[in-house]
Amino acid sequence: MLSEQDRQDLVLWVEEKQTNFTTSCPVCKGTGKVTGEMDSHPLYNLHCNACDQRSKLFRVGELYRLNVPAEYRFATLRTLEPSLKSSLSLERQRKVIDRIKADPVSGYAFFGAPGIGKTVWTTALYGRALWKQDTFEDVPNYRHYPVWRISTKRMLDEHTVYATANFENELDRKLNQPSVTAQKIAYIRTHQGQIPRLFLEEIDKVKETDSRRSNLFEILDALQAHGGQLVINSNLHTEEFAERFGADLWWRIQKMAAVIDLF
């Protein structure tokens, strides 16, 4: 849940962004309201549906604040620049930043030492995906949200709990589904007509079992089959990653994402 301060900040952010939509609205002429025949009656002084994006903006802002720690919220794709705080050279940072700015919708697998900026870049890509998806694509009612940012451990833990839980009824089972599933990915693509986007954090910090590995493969298979976007980062060398996770998973990562090796 959001803290009270985060919620207050979110309300202010939504109203600030809404002002931008209202100002350029050709329907309400910048007033944010439309009137009926009884325009003198307050009940007929309504929000302009043509420019009112508050519900979408609130959803974007809430997801962003829930999934991005405060120390990374400065990272937006539009303003991203090389930083002296990174241990990576400014030149190499510039190459990465230019690449993801030019193509923010492709998959990426960032490999490099801690402190070079991997989380900053994935955060910037995630923020762009949220904003693009919900503000500018006109899909007002969809069953599953098409953008996730989640740690690999949490994602697989949810599947373990779901598989071993005793649910009271089918409704209880549906309400407690894991955040990311192959079925949701397929539904997003085939029924909602959207691209599923998975920002998978800390993939190298998960302890594998046969069932967890199977769940991970099922999700990545579905994401690949339905043309989804995968973004991951790892502190491991690519050789270490391939050895730990196996050639089959490493092959799949290479198929779905551009490997950015920064060692």
Which residues partner with 33 through β-bridges? 47
Domain that holds residue 43: 1-67
Q: Note whether 186 and 97 are same-domain residues.
A: yes
Contact 175, 200 (CB under 8 A): no
178 contacts: CB under 8 Å, gap ≥ 6: 155, 158, 159, 162
Q: Note whether 116 and 156 are same-domain residues.
A: yes
Q: Note whether 84 and 178 are same-domain residues.
A: yes
CB atoms within 10 A of CB 213: 16
Domain count, the chain: 2
Q: Note whether 15 and 126 are same-domain residues.
A: no
147 contacts: CB under 8 Å, gap ≥ 6: 63, 126, 129, 130, 133, 196, 197, 199
Q: Note whether 91 and 46 are same-domain residues.
A: no
Residues in the chain predicted with pLDDT less than 50, given as ranges, are 38-39, 135, 139
Q: Note whether 53 and 137 are same-domain residues.
A: no
Q: Note whether 80 and 49 are same-domain residues.
A: no
User: Can you give the three-state secondary structure of 4-50, one letter per residue?
Assistant: HHHHHHHHHHHHHHHHHHHHCCCCCCCCCEEECCCCCCHHHEEECCC
- Provide the whole-model pTM: 0.88
Give residue-wise pLDDT tens across range 21-41: 899 898 888 888 876 554 455
Q: Note whether 56 and 114 are same-domain residues.
A: no
Residue of 135, 128, 113, 150 lying closest to 53 (CA atoms): 135
Q: What is the CATH number of the domain that holds 206?
A: 3.40.50.300
Last residue of a domain, one of 67, 88, 120: 67
Q: What is the pLDDT of residue 44?
A: 52
Q: Note whether 129 and 33 are same-domain residues.
A: no
Q: What is the pLDDT of residue 38?
A: 46
Last residue of a domain, one of 67, 89, 120: 67
Q: Note whether 83 and 191 are same-domain residues.
A: yes
* Radius of gyration of the chain, Cα coordinates, nearest whole angstrom: 21
Q: Note whether 141 and 119 are same-domain residues.
A: yes
Q: Note whether 146 and 256 are same-domain residues.
A: yes
Last residue of a domain, one of 67, 89, 118: 67
Q: What is the pLDDT of residue 115?
A: 94
